[in-house]
Homo-oligomer: A and B are copies of this chain.
């Protein structure tokens, strides 16, 4: 795996992610990905021998990026629940770390792939299950799950631009979620 090869692969994954985000999976064709990445179709299939391999690579990159960010947020002193909340507002908090930043929109790409084919969901189900299992071990599992669900619903709404909250309200929502997350992390049962 030379450096050149690695760059091309990144370009392809970026292109594919962009297409999903901007136009929806329906437009995610091999020709379109290759064109967007500035690579020929043959070049694409040289690196990712099938569409499924490409999709797998997308999700795997999202997975590791998110995990890295989550761990760095915890290393910064955030509790597990608060770190999760800040995952969704990372852009504004640490713009300098944008290289490893996976924003809420990218996670949508994840969910979108799931929606297209249920079999996809099965493949990463275990990883996600173990990740979310910790949220049932906090000082207030009910509130923790509400926070988690709220964040996921929020990014859903934002992505499809349906019934979105005005920026000011959104800030208040995040603030309240962070406040509650801190309470949970510090063991207060409210």
Interface residues of A (CB under 8 A from B): 22-27, 108, 111-112, 114-121, 124-125, 128-129, 131-133, 135-136, 141-143, 145-154, 156-157, 160-163, 165-166, 169, 172-173, 176-177
Contacts and interface: CB of A to CB of B under 8 A. Distances in A.
Given A169-B141, A169-B142, A173-B146, A114 B153 contact: no
Contacts of A120: 24
Contacts of A131: 163
Contact of A25 (B116, B136, B161, B173): B116
A177 to B, nearest CB: 7
Contacts of A119: 24
Contacts of A152: 149, 152-153, 156-157
Contact of A173 (B24, B132, B142): B142
Given A149-B149, A150-B150, A176-B146, A117 B162 contact: no
24 contacts: A24-B117, A25-B115, A26-B116, A111-B156, A111-B160, A116-B116, A125-B160, A129-B162, A136-B165, A142-B176, A145-B169, A145-B173, A146-B146, A146-B177, A148-B163, A149-B149, A149-B150, A149-B152, A149-B154, A152-B152, A152-B156, A152-B157, A153-B156, A156-B156
Given A146-B146, A153-B149, A156-B152, A111 B121 contact: no
This chain: copies in complex: 2
A25 B75 CA distance: 40
A118 B161 CA distance: 10
A153 B163 contact: no
A166 B137 CA distance: 13
